[in-house]
Amino acid sequence: DAGITQSPRYKITETGRQVTLMCHQTWSHSYMFWYRQDLGHGLRLIYYSAAADITDKGEVPDGYVVSRSKTENFPLTLESATRSQTSVYFCASNRLEGPQETQYFGPGTRLLVL
Amino acid sequence: QKEVEQNSGPLSVPEGAIASLNCTYSDRGSQSFFWYRQYSGKSPELIMFIYSNGDKEDGRFTAQLNKASQYVSLLIRDSQPSDSATYLCAVKGDGNNRKLIWGLGTSLAVNP
């Protein structure tokens, strides 16, 4: 049971470059989420998706683009990376446990923008 | 603005003691409540969820929910050094909204 995988796990890039973070889940869960986590701000939702081809903005979407052509993949693209996008990025998906949906997280991607 | 508040800590307890972690939320319509543990450098992992008033026990962990007071807590009995981590409280709203509102987390240190 591989669950949720993210790649790359670590990335260093330069300001202005385009970067794509990959997220893949093996459970065929409908809902998927992208968060960033920064000291002092906790987990902040960037984008989420209810199903293939259905995406919506979260709390901090500016500078990011998502797509979801297949249920299992939910890539996050930084169109022109800025230093303020240096962060740890987590992908998550909702899984049904009995009557309750719960969110499960991937291992994260640490991104440094120079 | 829907909010979830936690004491940032650090909360320090001796090994074997009970650790009590608290969380308050602003949206009275919230339906489900989650506790996650996050070790340094790792992703959050689900410990427990609760959606009915009262207590829910799972091993050394007990979640307590009081919707009237808009308060949810996590008790860790017989705390171990391996419980040292940041504990995140998350709240799900009502209806079909799948998004979670997250607290900033409480740092717990269990001292041998």
Tens digit of each residue's pLDDT (9 = 90 or more) over B4-29: 999 888 999 999 999 999 999 999 98
A42/B88 touch (CB, cutoff 8 Å), yes or no? yes
Structure tokens at B36: 């996650």
Nearest CA in chain A to B87: A42
Give B19-74 pLDDT, tens digit per residue.
999 999 999 989 899 999 999 999 999 999 999 999 999 999 999 999 999 999 99
Cβ neighbours of B90 in A, within 8 Å: 103
- Rounded CA-CA distance A72/A68 in Å is 8
* Structure tokens belonging to residue A31: 């809902």
Q: Which DSSP helix (H) or strand (E) runs through B12? A: strand B11-14
Going by their DSSP bridges, the two strands A87-97 and B11-14 should be labelled as unpaired
